Amino acid sequence: MEKTLNRIHPVSDPEATYFLQVSWEKDLGTGFGLLLSDCQCAWTGKVSEADISREAGDIEMDREKYVEELRKALIAGEESAGKYNFLIS
């Protein structure tokens, strides 16, 4: 299993710092797990392969392109810094 951990500052609260851990087996396209923490609380979730396909279809984006955008937003770190915004709700 592979994992990444990134520090994020959501646009909903730019002064706050969160840590986002993403874990996956083969690649993000087969599904992944998320752990989000503000160092006081933590939230977890799972995204299935079906969820990814459904989301790509909902926004009418090619599935492979959608998975690549997920990779850039969730695990690319410094490579994509400033290109993606996070909203915590």
Please indicate, yes or no, if residue 70 is contained in any of the structural domains: yes
Q: What are phi and psi of 55, to 5 degrees?
A: -60, -45
Alpha helices (runs of H) in 1-89, residue ranges in sequence order:
49-58, 63-74
CATH of the domain at 76: 2.170.210.10
d(CA 19, CA 77): 12
Number of domains the chain is built from: 1
Domain that holds residue 42: 2-80
Confidence (pLDDT) at 89: 81
The tens place of each residue's pLDDT in the chain, 89 residues long, gives 899 999 988 888 889 999 999 999 988 999 999 999 999 999 999 999 999 999 999 999 999 999 999 999 998 766 665 678 888 88
* Closest by Cα among 82, 83, 76 to 20: 76
Whether 69 is covered by a domain: the verdict is yes
pLDDT at 37: 97
Residue 25 CB neighbour total at 10 angstroms:
11
What is the predicted pLDDT for the residue at 58?
A: 97
Does 9 fall in a domain?
yes
In a domain? residue 86: no
pLDDT of residue 79: 62
